[in-house]
Amino acid sequence: MHFKENDAKKIVIYQTIYMSFQSLGLSEALLKAISKKGYTTPSPIQQKAIPPVLEGKDVLASAQTGTGKTAGFTLPLLHMLSENPKEKFKPIRALILTPTRELAAQVYANVREYSEFLNLRSAVIFGGVNQKPQVANIRKGIEVLVATPGRLIDLENQGLLSLKRVEVLVLDEADRMLDMGFLRDIERIMKLMPAKRQNLMFSATFSKDIRKLAHGILNNPVQVEATPDNSTVDAISQKVYRVAKGLKTGLIIKLISDGNWKQVLVFTRTKHGANKLCKKMVSSGITAAAIHGNKSQGARTKALAGFKNGSVRVLVATDIAARGLDIPLLPHVVNFELPNISEDYVHRIGRTGRAGASGEAISLVSADETTYLRDIEKLVGIKLPVEIVEGFEPDPNASTQPIKQGQGRQQRNSRPKNSGRSEHRGSNSRRPKRTNDGRSNSRRS
């Protein structure tokens, strides 16, 4: 029996609070790895998700970014696989699907860390890089595969991997999967796996589209929620600066310089905007790098590494490219432009205030973003405090009408140079075309 939208009352909601990882029933090898990472108490989403996953149930889990949801499915998944070892040749027994390369790499890093003391092999595959090293790892035999949909379908089409032995499927950041137009890919991948398997769906939000997707994949799921839908982390200080559109660049440079901010993640709405802002910052003496879909995977990896080690002070990113970034103790997130999809605001500011740390989220809002701001405040349920900096006042004569769809955007049919194989090669051709960030052209803006 599948999950039905009108059967919400029948869904079991786990609310039991455990005091330690030991009480969750995880193996000693996993507990050793957890301890090595310095964790002692599971987060709320881990407390609620791990027990039903260990029981073999399908799970529909909601948790905002930065709450430890990756460990919420990684730990029980590794426990189950290690407790039931297979033959010497290791088939793919668990598939973790993610929407972006960065998130895939981050999840894989967690899998590697948590499985350090287990006899399990894992691999990650995504587009934008040469497939040969990825294929070589798969041929050695792996049990856990972390993948983006495009590269997974590409390699399966070539006969280089098989999903016929998959026991557990994880859809991570399921809301973003749908946002990026991966529905047809997901449906195609479903047909490549055994019908009898455990399914885990993790999402930052429980939208109608997510529930519809769950209806087609999950069987009698347990629903777990660590926080209310679209809530923002309490540890994040949020503020709005009202400013004229043409003065935003000067204002953000002033805030970073005067505040002596050492590590700042800045969001722009477009790839072109990210490049332009990055150049302005560099010319002002602020080390900065841009990360978006038009950048090669090598350039994206280099920019992120520099940001983490402190050699790059400001990382300017688009929403898709930033999904999955895990930067410990990130103090500042700036919305240079507000997102036109309100839920993206929650994802953006969730990059700071992670794992109980405090953080600051600042939004530079011009007149044409007034509607976006109102929608965001309605979504998160709070009125954001507003400040105006002398010399950077908002334009009283500017229109408050939102920017028209496609206005000021670069052409969508451009292709990143030197990016290797397409991330979405092998996908259904009837699906809407995507931009280089992976967004569907049918997505509202």
Domains of the chain: 5-225 (3.40.50.300), 236-387 (3.40.50.300)
Candidates 119, 175, 177; CA nearest to 147 is 177
Tokens of 275: 């490049």
Q: How far is residue 150's CA from residue 434's CA, in Å, rounded to a whole number? A: 12
Least confident stretch, 25-34, 169-178, 302-311, 324-333: 324-333
Per-residue pLDDT at 370 exceeds 90? yes
Candidates 123, 196, 194, 122; CA nearest to 165 is 194
Q: What is the pLDDT of residue 407?
A: 46
Per-residue pLDDT at 431 exceeds 50? no
Per-residue pLDDT at 410 exceeds 60? no
Q: How far is residue 429's CA from residue 158's CA, in Å, rounded to a whole number? A: 17
Q: What is the pLDDT of residue 430?
A: 40
Least confident stretch, 49-58, 172-181, 368-377: 172-181
Over the stretch 44-102, which tens digit does the pLDDT of each residue have?
889 999 999 999 999 999 876 667 889 999 999 999 999 988 767 789 999 999 998 88
Q: What is the pLDDT of residue 293?
A: 78
Least confident stretch, 105-114, 129-138, 327-336, 380-389: 327-336
Q: In what order do the strands lie in the sheet with 122-125?
A: 122-125, 144-147, 94-97, 168-171, 198-203, 59-62, 222-225
Q: What is the pLDDT of residue 243?
A: 97
pLDDT band at 14 (very low <50, low <70, confident <90, very high): very low
Mean pLDDT (whole number) for 212-217: 88
Q: What is the pLDDT of residue 66?
A: 65
Q: Sign of the CA dihedral 130, 103, 71, 156?
A: negative
Q: In what order do the strands lie in the sheet with 332-335?
A: 288-291, 314-317, 264-267, 332-335, 359-365, 236-242, 386-387
- DSSP letter at 441? T
Q: What is the pLDDT of residue 32?
A: 96
Helix axes 183-190, 208-217, angle to 10 degrees: 10
Q: How far is residue 354's CA from residue 371's CA, in Å, rounded to a whole number? A: 28
* 13 three-state secondary structure: strand
- Considering 189-193, 234-238, 328-332, the range whose residues carry the highest mean pLDDT is 189-193
Q: How far is residue 145's CA from residue 193's CA, in Å, rounded to a whole number? A: 13
Percent of the chain with pLDDT over 90: 53
Beta 264-267 vs 332-335: how paired, if at all? parallel
Burial class (CB in 10 A: 0-12, 13-18, 19+), 189: buried
What is the radius of gyration, based on Cα positions, of the chain?
A: 22
Q: What is the pLDDT of residue 359?
A: 82
Could you tell me which residues come within 8 angstroms of residue 263 by beta carbon, excluding any fewer than 6 positions away? Answer: 307, 310, 313, 327, 330, 331, 332
Identify each DSSP E strand in 207-250 by its residue range.
Answer: 222-225, 236-242
**CA 163 to chain CA mean position, Å:** 24
CB 139: neighbour CB atoms within 10 A? 11
Mean pLDDT (whole number) for 143-149: 97
Tokens of 426: 């092998």
Q: What is the pLDDT of residue 86?
A: 76
Supply the DSSP string of 77-102, one letter for each residue. Answer: HHHHHHHS---SS----EEEE-SSHH
Q: Which residue has the higher pLDDT, 329 or 389?
A: 389
Q: How far is residue 104's CA from residue 255's CA, in Å, rounded to a whole number? A: 33
Supply the DSSP string of 96-164, one letter for each residue. Answer: EE-SSHHHHHHHHHHHHHHTTTSS--EEEE-SSS-SHHHHHHHHT--SEEEE-HHHHHHHHHTTS---T
Candidates 282, 292, 265; CA nearest to 363 is 265
Beta 144-147 vs 168-171: how paired, if at all? unpaired
